Amino acid sequence: MSEQAWPDPDGVSRATEAFRAAFDAAPEQVWASPGRVNLVGEHTDYNGGLALPIALPHRTFAAIAPRSDRTVRLVSGLDDGHRWEGTLDDIRPGGVSDWVAYCAGPAWALREDGVELSGFDLALASCVPTGAGLSSSAAVECAVALALTSLAGESTDDDAARARLAALCVRAENEVAGAPTGGMDQATSLRAKAGHALLLDCRDDSVEHVALDLEAAGLALLVVDTRVHHSLADGQYGRRRTTCETAAARLGVTQLGDLDSIDTENGRQTALARLDGEEARRARHVLTEIARVREVVDAARAQDWTRMGTAMDASHESLRVDYEVSCVELDVAVEAARAAGALGARMTGGGFGGSAIALVPLDLTEQVAGAVTAAARERGLREPAFHVAVPSASGERVA
């Protein structure tokens, strides 16, 4: 039923094989970094709020070897084995596009930050589904950033080094790939811990690891990949960001997340009451979503799974009604999962397609997946794919 993540030895041999086939040599190192799924705290990262993602067992593997010149050669499983070749100087905003921008962008960001790089050969192999809202983009960037940092002889061990790399990967995705990503994905790929969710405070970039052993609780986090992406909605993410910035400016704060420090519910309501229409709804989502992150953290600590499910349901409603980023495929999946016994379900990621998650009793996993598939079929929607999300480790060297 579920699409399996590759065990590390498989990923290593696939990336190594791809490297050999493309460059007729062996790589010097192989690094792997994961995709992520967000438990709760959606569209809060770029608003300076809280998010609670977990790293997936699905990883992108990057096999790399340094070169003595400034040439860069890249292959990725995505592009029919097509090989890109250029120089370090070609890698800059406007200099590369598509998958090459995601693979090579971190080299530009690292150099901008003063890291000395030589040319390199790089081959990628990935089992992170692309465009499913599970952050294949950050998995690529982070695997490459770790590998390049290591080749440059700098440490990637401590959390401060990881936080810096995450910020550089965000810069690469924003400026080289031209995608306005918020920062949660890269933080998860580089700073998460196995068996834990990552409580990320985007105001000061601090993290806390929250123990989350769903299996011991007899539960599974089922990921439903709707396998649709409504491309008509491509400008929507940027538009949501702009509306939030405008609303924050109107209220005299830097980011909407700053309103979270108003310590009474009444005070927050008074602030929100100064906004109208769309701005008011977007801001209400951001503030209530930040509160739901705290609720889910408390529920995880108390092992109160019903409470966690209820907060997940409320998050979906807020994203659907106030933030308006859901779509029929996500709504159908969420409703069918709940009706079949999920404790809670919500869309996850940016929205307009991509994935939903459902918190389900282990013995109902197949049943819930079957019900979601049946509901999609009945509505004439694309058949979804399923994964089980086990909180996994952040990026690391695997060979």
Of 117 and 132, which has the nearer Cβ to Mg ion? 132
Report DSSP state, residue 362.
G
In the complex, minimum distance from the CB of residue 101 to ligand ADP, in angstroms, rounded to a whole number: 7
In the complex, minimum distance from the CB of residue 181 to ligand ADP, in angstroms, rounded to a whole number: 7
In the complex, minimum distance from the CB of residue 174 to ligand ADP, in angstroms, rounded to a whole number: 12
Task: Identify residue 259 by its one-letter amino acid code.
Answer: L
- The two three-digit tokens of residue 145, written as one number: 């950033």
Of 76 and 137, which has the nearer Cβ to Mg ion? 137
User: Shortest Cβ contact with Mg ion: which residue?
Assistant: 137
Between residue 168 and residue 227, which ones bind ligand ADP under the rule CB under 6 A? 179
Of 36 and 164, which has the nearer Cβ to ligand ADP? 36
In the complex, minimum distance from the CB of residue 139 to ligand ADP, in angstroms, rounded to a whole number: 7
Determine, following the binding rule CB under 6 A, whether residue 103 of this chain makes contact with ligand ADP.
Answer: yes
Determine, following the binding rule CB under 6 A, whether residue 117 of this chain makes contact with ligand ADP.
Answer: no
* β-strand partners of 32: 61, 396
Q: x/- contact string, 47-86, with ligand ADP (CB under 6 A)?
A: -------------x---------------xxx--------
In the complex, minimum distance from the CB of residue 167 to ligand ADP, in angstroms, rounded to a whole number: 17
99 binds, among Mg ion, ligand ADP, none (CB under 5 to 8 A by kind): ligand ADP
In the complex, minimum distance from the CB of residue 91 to ligand ADP, in angstroms, rounded to a whole number: 14
Cα–Cα distances in angstroms (integers) from residue 226 to residues 144, 238, 372, in the given order: 28, 22, 10
Determine, following the binding rule CB under 6 A, whether residue 140 of this chain makes contact with ligand ADP.
Answer: yes
CB proximity list for 86: less than 8 A, separation 6 or greater: 71, 72, 95, 96, 104
Of 11 and 182, which has the nearer Cβ to Mg ion? 182
Q: Crossing angle for the helix pair 136-151 and 184-191, nearest 10 degrees?
A: 50
What is the rounded distance in angstroms from the CA atom of residue 154 to the CA atom of residue 160? 13
Instruction: With H, G, I as helix, E, B as strand and everything else as coil, classify residue 387.
Output: strand
In the complex, minimum distance from the CB of residue 258 to ligand ADP, in angstroms, rounded to a whole number: 27
What's the burial of 302, exposed, middle or buried (CB within 10 Å: 0-12/13-18/19+)? exposed
Task: Identify residue 89 by its one-letter amino acid code.
Answer: D
What's the burial of 253, exposed, middle or buried (CB within 10 Å: 0-12/13-18/19+)? middle
Of 235 and 277, which has the nearer Cβ to ligand ADP? 235
77 binds, among Mg ion, ligand ADP, none (CB under 5 to 8 A by kind): ligand ADP
Interface residue with ligand ADP among 33, 136, 186, 326 (CB under 6 A) is 136
Q: Would you say how long the chain is, in residues?
A: 399
In the complex, minimum distance from the CB of residue 139 to Mg ion, in angstroms, rounded to a whole number: 9
- The two three-digit tokens of residue 12, written as one number: 């290593």
Residue 103: CB atoms within 10 Å: 30
DSSP character string of 247-306: HHHHTT-SSGGGGGGS-SHHHHHHHHTT--HHHHHHHHHHHHHHHHHHHHHHHHHHT-HH
Of 184 and 222, which has the nearer Cβ to ligand ADP? 184
Residue 272: CB atoms within 10 Å: 21
- The two three-digit tokens of residue 173, written as one number: 């995705």
Q: What angle do CA 47, 50, 51 make, to 5 degrees?
A: 105
Between residue 283 and residue 312, which ones bind ligand ADP under the rule CB under 6 A? none
What is the rounded distance in angstroms from the CA atom of residue 342 to the CA atom of residue 181? 30
Of 132 and 272, which has the nearer Cβ to ligand ADP? 132
Q: x/- contact string, 130-149, with Mg ion (CB under 5 A)?
A: -----x-x------------
What is the rounded distance in angstroms from the CA atom of residue 59 to the CA atom of residue 7? 9
Task: Identify residue 223 by its one-letter amino acid code.
Answer: V
Interface residue with ligand ADP among 34, 49, 106, 133 (CB under 6 A) is 133
- Sign, CA torsion 382/388/391/393: negative
Of 60 and 135, which has the nearer Cβ to Mg ion? 135
Determine, following the binding rule CB under 6 A, whether residue 126 of this chain makes contact with ligand ADP.
Answer: yes
184 binds, among Mg ion, ligand ADP, none (CB under 5 to 8 A by kind): none
Size of the site for ligand ADP (CB under 6 A): 20
Catalytic residue ranges: 185
* Footprint of ligand ADP (CB under 6 A): 60, 76-78, 98-99, 102-103, 124, 126, 130-137, 140, 179
Footprint on this chain of Mg ion (rule: CB under 5 A) = 135, 137
